[in-house]
Structure 1
């Protein structure tokens, strides 16, 4: 298993975005940006809040605490103005779902080997 020290933001291979600012990445993961620049719907996949990769990605890449992200998602759901990201059970399933879902966005502990995904640099 790869180290969780090198988290990467990944998207479906057809997504035409190569980099995002940290704030833009936050907005996508917070479900505030529903569409990619080409108009394709964004489908966010995440691991459970308590998963070590989720906690490290949110803290180190997005600069947030996992509870802050959860509050945003809960507010969207309970206000009726949005929906929750799709939670999967394992890092492998997350990568597999991003690979097979057009417009998908997620994260991994390292660039996935053997999967056709786009790596998005967070600046």
Structure 2
């Protein structure tokens, strides 16, 4: 069995992959892959639509949630405080809104599954057939 070496010891690769934080969207979203730059722009609330023009509804976990920190660092290549500054900027300038916050991954799943154009992130173990994984280039 392949092992992935981590700071706290070795973990089977299959378990490590289950802990991946994936970009997920509502099943009605027709875009199936995004670049890192487009994903970052959507999560920073600078881009308000999917590439096909559909309104994007962004959902995030609290800044203190470890899954939020992992997603932001690993997938967006920024730090949570940098993303928060971007949200504060659009809110205080009156040019936009902050993303919708949910408290748990279960809540994230429910909101994404029930909101047209929704985008968020989940660990693989929380996925079901009501949402789709969006690949990132």
- Structure 1, unpaired ranges of 5+: none
Q: 1:31-51 CA deviation, whole Å, 9 max, x = no partner? A: 111122343211100000000
SS of corresponding position for 1:8:
strand
Q: 1:82 aligns with which of 73, 76, 96?
A: 96
User: Judging changes above 3 Å, is the alpha-carbon distance between structure 1 residues 111 and 34 closer, same or farther for their aligned structure 2 residues?
Assistant: farther
Question: Which structure is richer in relative contact order (CA contacts within 8 A, separation 6 or more)?
Answer: 1
Higher strand proportion: 2
**Length-normalised TM-score, structure 2:** 0.83
Residue among 102, 110, 118 paired with 2:116? 102
**2:23 matches 1:9:** yes
Q: Per-residue CA shift, 1:63-115, capped at 9, x if unaligned?
A: 00000000000000000000000001101100110000001000001164434
Q: What residue is the counterpart of 1:62 in the other structure?
A: 76
Q: Which moved more, 1:85-94 or 1:4-13?
A: 4-13
CA distance in 2, matches of 1:48, 1:40: 25
Q: Decide which structure has the larger Cα Rg and report it.
A: 2
Counterpart for residue 61 of structure 2: 47
Contact 1:99 1:115 in 2 (8 A): no
Q: Which residue of 1 aligns with 2:6?
A: none
RMSD of the alignment, in Å?
1.6
Aligned residues: 122
